Amino acid sequence: MQELGALEGGDWSRARAINNLGEVVGEVGFGLNETRAFIWDAENGMRPLESAQGTLRGAYDINDAGQIVGLGRNPDGQDRAFLLTPIPEPATAALLISGLLALAALGRRKGRTR
């Protein structure tokens, strides 16, 4: 068993799911009625899941692509299901594009030497 901790100010935490990459999602309780969704991994520890569209109250599952489903509260105070899909960091995308361009240039060079 491994304790994951809780977010600052949290009274309790509950893990709901883990993917094959070791990422864990769940919720942390603050008082009687307030919860916040979290993600945990061995490198970064526990971090809150946040959204500009409302409060993410609990994360219930995560797949190997990093997509997370759970329950959130929108700005109108209504509880709604959510799906979070990770977006690659700009540096990662730039590295991928650079690699693809290099491969394309090598392919063209090999085609000219025939």
pTM of the model: 0.75
Q: Which tokens in the block code for residue 95?
A: 């590295």
Q: Is 95 helix (H, G, I), strand (E, B) or coil?
A: helix
Pairing relation of β-strands 79-84 and 55-62? unpaired
112 Ramachandran zone, left/alpha/beta (phi>0; psi -120 to 50): alpha
- pLDDT tens digits along 53-104: 889 999 999 999 999 999 999 999 999 999 999 887 666 667 777 778 888 7
Residue 27: its pLDDT value, please?
97
- pLDDT tens digits along 25-64: 999 999 988 999 999 999 999 999 988 888 999 999 999 9
94 CA to centre of own chain: 20
Edge-to-edge strands, sheet with 24-30: 12-18, 24-30, 34-41, 45-48
